[in-house]
Chains A and B, each alone.
Chain A
Amino acid sequence: MSNDLINVSIWRGGEDGEYQTYQVPRLESQTVLDVVTYIQRELDPSLSYRFACRVGVCGSCAMTVNGKARWTCRTHVSKVAEGGQLTLDPLNSMPRVKDLVVDMETFFNKWADAKGSFKGDKTRDDALAYISPDDPKRKISSAGIECIGCGACYATCDVIKWNPDYLGPAALNRAWTLVNDERDVTGLERLAAVAGDNGCLGCHSQQGCVERCPKSLNPTGAIAGLKRETIKAVLKGELS
């Protein structure tokens, strides 16, 4: 294998399929997304993948790269191509559409199931809340807020592989940021939604999500927080 070529094996097909191999010229500043783009444009126009922003903001382009879930637009080939080899698969734990493209609908629906949306008691005609950026709860909320929904954590999570109904790290992380948002009034309704084995109690603290989050968020820590809050609510008799 020449140093200026990368050997790329890509999953072709849906649930059933096979790997196809391509040789791609090695370029400076080349990301994994650039590699699949090159293949589709120059070697095999039938290759399917999904991307949008190309700069680490939208979370559309995550794939399994040499066995690990990664955002491909910000992953340099030089950091991941062990021995000049790249093996690309679609994300795990999501239905496959074609080649590297998955259907993320369930992932989004679980975000809603975890009550991962804000409900306040003020309107567009009220002033904004005064909240110090150093307020302890706000700091907890801010620490987890910049999730881009790429699904890398979800695809890595072992619990989802055993229990497909598990809400998963991203949805639970969002729930935790809301639990700590003092403007939100959902309260116990959210804790009820994230309690139980499909929720925070399902987490085994393997920390795969923490390791794989491209934004360096800590979903395991968020889920531990949810566990504490739900247990407190149970002890107070507010949750059964």
Chain B
Amino acid sequence: MNLEFEQSKTDVLILGAGGAGLFAALHASNLGPDLDITIAVKGLLGKCGCTRMVQGGYNAAMANEDSIERHFMDTIEGGKWLNNQDLAWTLVNEAPRRIRELENELGCFFDRNPDGSLHQKAFAGQTFDRTVHKGDLTGIEIINRLAEQVWSRGINRLEDHRAVEFIKSKDGSGLAGVLMIDMRTGKFRLVQAKAVLLATGGGPTMYTYHTPSGDKSCDGMAMSLRAGMPLRDMEMVQFHPTGLVAGPGTRITGTIIEEGLRGYGGYLLGGDKERFMHKYDAKVERATRDIVSRGMFSEMRNGNVGPNGGLFITMKHLDPKEVRSRFKGMVDRCRDCGFDLVSGDVEVVPTAHYMMGGVEFQNDCSTELPGLYAAGEDTGGVHGANRLGGNGVANSTVFGGIAGDAIAKWVPKEGVFREPDLDAAKAAIAAALYPFQIEGGHMPDIRKKLYGAMWEDAGILRDAKSLARARVAVDELHSELMRTGVADESRAYNLSWHDWLNLESQIIISKVVIEAAVVRKDSRGAHFREDFPEIHDLENSRFTKASLDNGKITITSEHVEFTRVRPGETLIDD
């Protein structure tokens, strides 16, 4: 086997080009104009990741009547007291400044009231209308503005580059670089860096219905786990209630139509075209994402479904002109897919949306591995058991910026090019080339079975039995993947090879989700155990930590430290 690789060096290597990665690059270049900064991305810069896909908006306590404390309490209550409170506090404190930076320094223009002041809209689970937005396609504005700043500043880009493995120094004392595949040539490249930012995004793309961008396959989390870093809160997978469903043959299935439709008064209907949410919650369609998703999943399990196995959202009882102007992006999208959002019923399903869990990290985005920083959806702790709509893009941009600042300060003082462990690099190359040694198998079958196992047994509703089934199924799929090969023709832009590597990451992280869900024997936030339907002992809340031990996933748990507020208390004065 040919284990050759190219080598290059950069002061700062950023993995991922969503809100976290791009913000980190801009902040690092502001504070450290002499730093050589490189962004590596699995596709094209400005086009990958999920920040770009943000519809609803960005939570920030900007209004005089709102407060940081109120945003904080909403975030903690929403997270069911599982959050790392110091991280959540940093999030809510920095968010307004980040919005001002996006507008004043980077050129975003968010929606205004007629008098020219900032418009902030209502989002589920929040006690104040604090969601800053640009129509219903906020992410395009944010990522376009960030990407064009990066293009204009001479920051290096490695596009179509996939990260494969963190390579530590020979003595294991710190990170030396990242092994990557240049997807255009299929060649390996070891990029040495003094500091690396992990900002690839998580992305629960192992479920039948999922929202994230196709480039997301949990690679960053899988690499972190293999590098010995624990992942926290991995049982916490958020499902968004309204994903489009247009059959299994189209990639559009699973993509979201936005939350604001329900907020504005949209109805959810069963296959019988009757409303059903009153059976599950007094707030009916406006209940939080987790509650609505569970209600929908129950209806689906009872067979009250439409032609594609989903339910319906309808806006037809509302003013068509208003619907058309408020939700232009969604109306256009549905029309292109053959659905009429203004006067028809659009078939929808709950869809896997976001992973609250991820790599443990500090307030300055450092991790326990010297030289490695992390920000965005790859990390855990900010959101606890559930993320508020509008806190996702706040998370990636707030912590991305903090990471850039911290790296720019750290590199001149302590950053060195560590001597990489070349044997580890070669072992990682051999592992990545494994599928070329195998013949036979059919990858699409594995993908389909993984989707089904996670959706049915480790998704919106879980219990001990279903999780045991999921564990067996995913273990078997891992074996099947190892018996499935990729034809060794051209390695240049070989999507089937990358599909294989994607599946490997998704399977590893699926196992982590399952094992963490087995251990959490209560129901809170996004995690619902039908055999333990109550929330248990908030005062003694513990969070799960997954690590990889000789190829086996082990779960431990730790007490949540209530550093700012205890259950039953509040920081709000009035």
A16 at the interface (CB under 8 A from B): no
C-alpha gap A101/B486 in the complex (Å) = 20
Given contacts A112-B151, A124-B105, is CB(A145)–CB(B141) below 8 Å? yes
Residue of B nearest to A14 (CB): B492
A47 CB–B CB distance under 8 Å: yes
Contact B97 A124 (CB under 8 A): yes
| Contact, CB under 8 Å: B492 / A98 | yes
Please, how many angstroms separate the alpha-carbon atoms of A29 and B347 in the complex?
Answer: 13
Q: CA A48 – CA B496 in complex, angstroms?
A: 9
For residue A97, which residues in chain B have a CB less than 8 angstroms away from its CB?
A: 160, 184, 492-493
Q: Is the CB of A48 within 8 A of B493?
A: yes
Contact with B along A98-114 (1 / 0, CB 8 A): 11010111001101100
Chain B residues with Cβ under 8 A from A204's Cβ?
none
Q: Is the beta-carbon distance between B98 and A124 smaller than 8 angstroms?
A: yes
> How many inter-chain residue pairs (CB < 8 Å) link A and B?
207
Contact with B487, one of A45, A59, A75, A147 (Cβ below 8 angstroms) = A45
Q: What count of chain B residues pass the 8 Å CB interface test?
A: 67
Q: Is the CB of B250 within 8 A of A31?
A: yes
Q: Is A240's beta carbon under 8 Å from chain B?
A: no
- List, in ascending order, chain A residues with CB within 8 A of B265's CB: none
| Given A30-B250, A46-B490, A49-B495, A54 contacting B444 (CB threshold 8 A) | no
Q: Which residues of B contact A142 (CB under 8 A)?
A: 109
Complex Cα gap A13–B461 (Å): 47
Rounded to whole angstroms, the CA-CA distance of A48 and B490 in the bound complex is 11
Task: Find chain B residues with CB under 8 A from A138 CB.
Answer: 109
Minimum CB distance partner of B211 in chain A: A55
Bound-state CA distance A33–B444 (Å) is: 16
Complex contact B112–A131 (CB within 8 A): yes
| Stretch in contact with the other chain, from B286-294, B330-338, B451-459, B556-564 | B330-338
Contacts of A56-87 to chain B: CB distance below 8 A: 56-60, 73-76
Min C-beta distance of B90 to chain A, whole Å: 15
B107-A184 in contact (CB<8A): yes
Contacting A at CB under 8 A, from B228-254, are 246-247, 249-252
- Chain B residues with Cβ under 8 A from A126's Cβ? 100, 104
Interface 9-residue window, one of B114-122, B367-375, B421-429: B114-122
Asked if B45 is at the interface (CB within 8 A of a chain A CB), the reply is: yes
Cβ contacts B137-161/A at 8 Å (1 or 0 each): 1011100110111011000000110
A99 touches B104 (CB 8 A): no
Which chain A residues border B117 with CB–CB below 8 Å? 128, 130
* Least distance between B19 CB and chain A CB atoms (Å): 14
A88: shortest Cβ distance to chain B, in Å?
Answer: 15
Q: Are A27 and B105 in contact (CB under 8 A)?
A: no
Known: A42-B444, A130-B117. A52 touches B215 (CB 8 A): yes
A123 to B112, CA, bound (A): 19
Smallest CB–CB gap between B171 and chain A, Å? 38
Contact of A47 among B98, B250, B443, B495 (CB under 8 A): B495
> Within residues 206 to 222 of chain B, which ones have a CB less than 8 A from any CB in chain A?
213-215
B53 at interface by CB-CB < 8 Å = yes
A124-B101 contact, Cβ under 8 Å, with A98-B492, A101-B493, A131-B112: yes
The answer to whether A149 has its CB under 8 Å from any CB of chain B is yes
A residues less than 8 Å from B149 (CB atoms) = 117-118
Q: A108 and B109: CB pair below 8 A?
A: no
- Does A40 touch B at the CB level, under 8 Å? yes
Contact A52 B47 (CB under 8 A): yes
Residue B255 is within 8 A (CB to CB) of chain A in the complex: yes
- In the complex the two chains form, what is the Cα distance from A29 to B338 in whole Å? 7
In this complex, what residue of B is CB-closest to A121? B104
A101 to B249: give the CA distance in the assembly, Å.
Answer: 22
Of the residues B48, B98, B114, B255, contact of A55 by C-beta under 8 Å? B255
Across the interface, name the chain A residue whose C-beta is closest to B500. A45
Q: Which of B47, B101, B151 contacts A59 (CB 8 A)?
A: B47
Contact in complex: A58, B52 (CB < 8 Å): yes
CB neighbours (8 Å) of A188 from chain B are: none
- Measured between beta carbons, the chain B residues less than 8 angstroms from A49 are 495
Given contacts A50-B43, A97-B160, A131-B109, 16 further A-B contacts (CB under 8 A): A28-B246, A31-B251, A40-B495, A49-B495, A52-B49, A54-B213, A56-B336, A58-B53, A120-B107, A128-B100, A130-B117, A131-B112, A132-B115, A133-B112, A134-B114, A145-B141
- List 14 A-B residue pairs with CB atoms under 8 Å apart, sorted by A's residue number: A28-B247, A30-B250, A34-B250, A40-B496, A48-B495, A49-B495, A52-B215, A53-B52, A57-B53, A97-B160, A111-B148, A117-B107, A117-B149, A138-B109
Q: Which residues of B contact A (CB under 8 A)?
A: 43-49, 52-53, 97-101, 103-107, 109, 111-112, 114-118, 137, 139-141, 144-145, 147-149, 151-152, 159-160, 184, 213-215, 246-247, 249-252, 255, 333, 336-338, 443-444, 486-487, 489-490, 492-496, 499
A-side interface residues toward B, CB under 8 Å?
A: 27-31, 33-34, 37-38, 40-42, 45-60, 73-76, 97-99, 101, 103-105, 108-109, 111-112, 115-118, 120, 122-135, 138, 141-142, 145-149, 174, 178, 181, 183-184
